Structure 1
Amino acid sequence: MKAPSSHETAFRDAASADPLREAFLRRSMDTITRIAAHADLKILSEALAASTGFGALARVLADAATAEASLVDLDPLAPLVARNAEHRVQILEAAGGTLSSTEVAQQLGVSRQAIEKRRRANTLLAVRMGGDWRYPRCQFDEAKGTVVAGLPKLLDVFAKAGPWVAMDFLLAPDDALGGETPMQRLRREGLTPELERLARIEQGDGFA
């Protein structure tokens, strides 16, 4: 008899731990099976190029052809939600991943409470993931053990828009910066009037 794979074992362990987890796993697996049966092989191949399993799933869910074949009748909003999820995965990859509050505290040489205080004050960029706060790695100068100079003031421009909008701005190449991202320019030159102006224009609070 073939021994169960690690994925099968993990599935059984998770399912047996809690009825709610079992229900979620079975419902999710049914949907994934349906997608795999209908999706074009090219779409599946492109999805497998993602660096994570979550990214692969988001890509195939976001594809319109796949959605038309197997998802729209189940949930018309699924492709839109998946495209948003895929975009967030791409942003986090561009950010170099994330750090926990404990890792950030060690990086900056302060307490976790100090990190939480700075997050609430919007002087550190943090996103909610899995019930916890994660801190995009790109905002730190790890060699110096500091936050990239000028970032806290720039984050203030995006206080109402939220961290995902701020990261989208910081990590997207901009023609006005010669194809550099605002984060690249911020790391090299600090917060220049040009960068602050671009951020305010992005938020509709400035003039071209």
Structure 2
Amino acid sequence: MTTAEHPTPAQMRLLKELDELHLPPEDLLDQLQTYAAVAAHLRVPDFKITPLFTDAIGLDALWSNVRAGVHALGAAMATSPVAVSPQTARSLQAAENIWRSIEREFGMLSSMEVAELLGSRKPNRSLASGLRNDGTIVGIMRGNAYRFPGFQFDADKGAVVPAMPKLIALAREDGRSDEGLVYWLTSPSSLFHEQDRPVDHLHEEEQVLAAARDQFEGTW
């Protein structure tokens, strides 16, 4: 007999809970493909979709991700006054996963944290807001407030990484949003050796600026 013919209790629980969610198989597959695509984009090591009847521990972890994602999407869509298509829901969830991964890796600073990092004598929110407005740093709206990706700051020097204002200027000239710039910075790029991310070369100013010009000005 094969493992597939004798599912474990954990695997049976997964199937039961999936059935209770009334989630069509094709929607479940789309969810898994989304997680796989996001993991590949962010280069998560050793990520794989566990076959349904092979590893009970991996299955439980996979189920936790799927269940949390489905419930979160359901709660968000329930508050929307208009219908949300499955395609839109998947896109939103994928984007949210990316922002959360960026926050885990680099941190998303509050306005007060930015002021403290930059050595403001009287930290306040206006400093970060002013730097964002004049194109010195990028801010991403999270919830009801702007958050500032930590990679754009040199914590040891208490300063903004010098390349950031120039990158922001290039991006805005090309009509790109702050979100678009952050996405490009944290995505693997063929413009770097071994598909490195631009963010990994922020302190190599000329190289990252040349890559940005090639990417932005070469986009039609």
Find the partner of 1:57 among 69, 89, 94.
69
Find the partner of 2:179 among 164, 177, 182.
164
Amino acid of the structure 2 residue aligned with 1:105? A
Whole-Å separation in 1 of the counterparts to 2:19 and 2:111: 39
Deviates more, 1:121-130 or 1:168-177: 168-177
Aligned residue in 2 for 1:173: 188
Whole-Å separation in 1 of the counterparts to 2:70 and 2:215: 27
C-alpha contact 1:47 1:60 (8 A) present in aligned 2? no
Map 1:20-169 onto structure 2 (within 5 A): 36=21, 38=23, 45-46=61-62, 48=64, 56-57=68-69, 75-76=85-86, 77-94=88-105, 96-110=106-120, 111-112=123-124, 113-159=126-172, 160-169=175-184
What stretches of structure 1 move > 6 A for 4+ residues in a row? 40-44
Whole-Å separation in 2 of the counterparts to 1:201 and 1:47: 41
Amino acid of the structure 1 residue aligned with 2:176? A
C-alpha contact 1:58 1:85 (8 A) present in aligned 2? no
Whole-Å separation in 1 of the counterparts to 2:84 and 2:60: 20
C-alpha contact 1:44 1:60 (8 A) present in aligned 2? no
The alpha-carbon distance between structure 1 residues 47 and 85, as it changes in their structure 2 partners (threshold 3 A), is: farther
Whole-Å separation in 1 of the counterparts to 2:177 and 2:189: 20
Amino acid of the structure 1 residue aligned with 2:109? L
SS class of match (2:114): helix
**How many residues are paired up?**
156
TM-score (norm. length: structure 1): 0.61
Amino acid of the structure 2 residue aligned with 1:97? G
The answer to which structure, 1 or 2, has the higher relative contact order (CA under 8 A, 6+ apart) is 2
TM-score (norm. length: structure 2): 0.58
Amino acid of the structure 2 residue aligned with 1:178? H
- Over the matched positions of the two proteins, sequence identity in percent amounts to 25
Cα shift readout 1:152-189 (whole Å, capped 9, x = no counterpart): 111111223112211112122333321332122122x2
Where do 5+ consecutive residues of structure 1 fail to align?
Answer: 1-32, 62-72
Cα shift readout 1:78-117 (whole Å, capped 9, x = no counterpart): 22322232233233334x1211100110100135323211
SS class of match (1:173): coil
RMSD (Å), alpha carbons:
3.5
